[in-house]
Amino acid sequence: MTIPVIGIPCLNRADLLLRCIRSIDHAFDKLIIVNNGNDPGVKAVCEQLGDEYLTKLVIYAPGRNLGVAASWNWIIDSQPTALYWLLVGNDIKFTPGDLRKMNRFIRAHLDYVTMPANQGHSLFAVTQRGRDTIGAFDEGFWPAYLEDSDHMYRVKLANAKWADVPDVHAIHGEAPTYGSHTIYADAELFRRNQETHRANFEYYKTKWGGAPGEETFIVPYNDPALSASDSRLPMPRML
């Protein structure tokens, strides 16, 4: 059986994006790339893939950096009837058999809301149950970081089922540092990330009454009119 959707947000590092896609060794129905940047290499890769994958490929270029959470939301919203959505960082490289294992495990646990593999929210699935129970990702965490902590705290509040997919060996990034390589590709982006990461951390504490692992609220902002699945901001956040 095929993977319904593989969704990849991307900002830069076209070489790693292409590496990720070339490591896909399992059939899929849709491959969605959200091109959040203006890297000509990423555009070239997308054009190349368009000729190769034809109707299976969806490219979305919003003309600005939506951020990770909004990109995930767009991927899910664009294919609303999918059985599940596999969300992947562009700097992930699958090892042989990873996707077969993930597809088999996820399909056997569609009552679970989310299923990360060995790289946390750089490689994870959201099921229809997850979309409907936990809600959308909070786009207030921009452009990246803490959206995963927010998601998992809401999973905890919902007392929902989730599990790590076992025996996956995907690689995140490249030697010698590994991990996320988006911010390492651009010195200015790396500098700005230090500011936005701090802002996201403060936003998390405002929303949940404490840092990840130290939350004191069971609804956002301790507002009884809201529920944990109300993931989007009640008003625009100034960044």
3-state SS string over 130-156?
HHHHHCCCCCCCCCCCCHHHHHHHHHH
Helix (H), strand (E) at residue 29: strand 28-35
DSSP 54: G
Which range marks the domain in which residue 34 is found? 3-222
Q: Name the average pLDDT for the chain.
A: 93
Q: What is the pLDDT of residue 236?
A: 44
The answer to the question of residue 227 being in a domain is: no
> CATH code at 18?
3.90.550.10
pLDDT in tens, 3-26: 999 999 999 999 999 999 999 999
Residue 208 and residue 156 in contact, taking contact as beta carbons nearer than 8 Å: no
pLDDT in tens, 214-237: 999 999 999 999 998 887 655 444
Residue 206 has pLDDT above 70, yes or no: yes
The answer to the question of residue 25 being in a domain is: yes
* Separation in Å, CA 35 to CA 64, 66, 79, 156, 190: 9, 9, 17, 31, 19
Sequence-distant (≥ 6) Cβ neighbours of residue 220 within 8 angstroms: 207, 208, 226, 228, 230
Which residue spans within 36-194 are E strands per DSSP?
57-60, 84-88, 92-93, 114-117, 120-127, 171-172
List the strands of the sheet with 114-117, edge to edge: 57-60, 28-35, 3-10, 84-88, 120-127, 114-117
pLDDT in tens, 150-198: 999 999 999 999 999 999 999 998 888 777 777 777 778 778 888 999 9
Q: What is the pLDDT of residue 183?
A: 76
The answer to the question of residue 205 being in a domain is: yes
**Other C-beta atoms lying within 10 Å of the C-beta of residue 32:** 23
The answer to the question of residue 238 being in a domain is: no
Q: What is the pLDDT of residue 232?
A: 61
The answer to the question of residue 236 being in a domain is: no
Residue 116: what are its φ and ψ, rounded to 5°? -70, 160
Sequence-distant (≥ 6) Cβ neighbours of residue 34 within 8 angstroms: 7, 8, 9, 10, 60, 62, 66, 71, 74, 75
Residue 156 and residue 133 in contact, taking contact as beta carbons nearer than 8 Å: no
pLDDT in tens, 31-48: 999 999 999 999 999 998
Count how many domains the chain has. Answer: 1
Query: Cα separation of 91 and 122, whole Å?
Result: 9
